[in-house]
A = this chain, B = another copy of it.
Amino acid sequence: MQKIPAPSRRRLVLLERVLASVKTERITSAAISSITGWKDSCIRKDISLIGYKGGVSNGYKAADLRIAICRALGLSSGSGGIEKSGETQECVSVHNCCIVGLGRLGAALLENSIFFETPFRIVAGFDSNVNRTEILSASFPLHPARELEMVIRESEIEYAILAVNDSDAQGMAERLVACGIKGIVNYTGEVLSVPQNVAVENVSPVMALNNISARLMAE
A114/B206 contact (C-beta < 8 A), A104-B107, A193-B37 known: yes
Check: A12 CB closer than 8 A to any chain B CB: yes
Contacting residues, chain B, for A182 (C-beta < 8 A): 212, 216
Tell me which of A81-89, A115-123, A127-135, A149-157 binds B. Answer: A115-123
- Counting every copy of the chain, the complex holds 2
- Could you give 19 example pairs across A and B, Cβ below 8 Å? A10-B214, A16-B210, A34-B193, A37-B194, A73-B213, A75-B210, A95-B209, A103-B108, A104-B107, A104-B111, A109-B205, A114-B189, A115-B205, A159-B209, A159-B212, A182-B212, A183-B215, A199-B211, A203-B205
The listed residue (B4, B115, B215) touching A206 by CB distance below 8 A is: B115
A52 to chain B, nearest CB (A): 15
A214 near B17 with CB under 8 A, answer no
* Residues of A1-58 whose CB lies within 8 A of B: 3-4, 6-7, 9-10, 12-14, 16-18, 21, 34-37
Check: A124 CB closer than 8 A to any chain B CB: no
Contacting residues, chain B, for A161 (C-beta < 8 A): 205
**Chain A residues packing against B (C-beta within 8 Å):** 3-4, 6-7, 9-10, 12-14, 16-18, 21, 34-37, 73-75, 95, 97, 103-105, 107-109, 111, 114-115, 118-120, 159, 161, 182-185, 189-191, 193-197, 199-219
